[in-house]
Amino acid sequence: MPLWVELLIRIAGVVVAFLTLPLIVGQVEHKVMAHMQGRLGPMYAGAFHGWAQLVADGVKFVQKEDVTPRAADAPVFKLAPLVALVPYLLVLLVIPLGPGDLVAQPLDIGLFFVLAVVGVGVVAVLMSAWASANKYSLLGGLRGAAQLLGYELPLVLAAASVAMAAGTLSLPGIVEAWQPWWLIWQAPALAVFFIAALAEIRRPPFDMPIADSELVFGYMTEYTGLRFAFFLLAEYVGIVVISALTTVLFLGGWRGPFADDTLGWLWTLIKIFAVAFLIIWLRVSYPRLREDQLQRLCWLILVPVALAQLVLTAAVRLAI
């Protein structure tokens, strides 16, 4: 097969995953929240079990007027939703779905690349906040930036722990080095990574910068129509990416209970959707954190735990 054909197939696969998996997660969230909270609305659209709810939401966003505030910095305002989406698309390029060639672009420094690209999300927050020419958007953007910059540290420290344990920054290499007993040894790093990742994508209970009860809707206040839908899509793509990274780094990726890795891609997807379900469950179950509680959790709990886990990992690596 010519190289350019193989490259097109890999890119097409990533784009399909980028466009479909977040929609599946969004549909699942509608149903899970409807069942957990007794919501009737999402269960009626399209008659059978509300199958058309996501379609109805899409039609609603398309029909809404695309408004740009008169005082806004129009180019930056319009570009911000795309800047929020693109990093997640790039991350999906290096996440392995299974052993061998089931990764669009294997990189020896894949983990470093992922952490660097995910950090670009703060730029989209600041762009939308400043360009909106709205004081509530600006306040929400500053809160969001403080949250993202703060939780970057425990996220990186937790990921560094598992990379140190595996002895590589390659994501497929980490999966190959993974052992079941890591579920116990790296459990603190898993908890820190998962909590910090939730804060990075601003999912409840870490959604204070965009909570309508706090600051209208934060840095997204002035967005309507498809641009607002792009921000929501970025949130759901973020759920997929965080679930995939948690699976690859801490849950063994394509490794299943059997020695045969033929169905490795299936185990990866099962684990990704299991973690995504947990993220949805947390949204339904826990109240929103205040700004002081959010920062206290980051700096007084997650960072010390992540540092302690790094020391433990280094000690174990030296011992074995």
Report d(CA 247, CA 269) in Å as an integer: 9
CB 175 within 8 A of CB 252: yes
Per cent of the chain over pLDDT 70 is: 98
Residue 280 has pLDDT above 80, yes or no: yes
Report d(CA 144, CA 97) in Å as an integer: 31
Tell how far CA 233 is from the center of its chain: 11
For residue 167, how many other CB atoms are within 10 A of its CB? 11
List alpha helices for 251-290, DSSP H: 264-285
CB 160 within 8 A of CB 122: no
pLDDT tens, residue by residue, 144-178: 888 888 999 999 999 999 999 999 999 999 999 99
pLDDT tens, residue by residue, 19-38: 899 989 988 888 888 888 87
Helix/strand/coil for 120? coil
Report d(CA 217, CA 213) in Å as an integer: 8
Report d(CA 193, CA 11) in Å as an integer: 28
Residue 244 has pLDDT above 80, yes or no: yes
pLDDT tens, residue by residue, 38-59: 777 777 777 777 777 888 888 8
Q: Which amino acid appears at position 164 of this protein? A: M
Tell how far CA 277 is from the center of its chain: 13
Helix/strand/coil for 145? helix
Of 165, 150, 80, 152, give the one whose Cα is nearest residue 114: 152
Report d(CA 255, CA 144) in Å as an integer: 36
124: region left, alpha or beta (phi > 0 left; psi from -120 to 50 alpha): alpha
Q: Which amino acid appears at position 66 of this protein? A: D
- Please tell me what DSSP assigns to residue 255: -
pTM of the model: 0.92
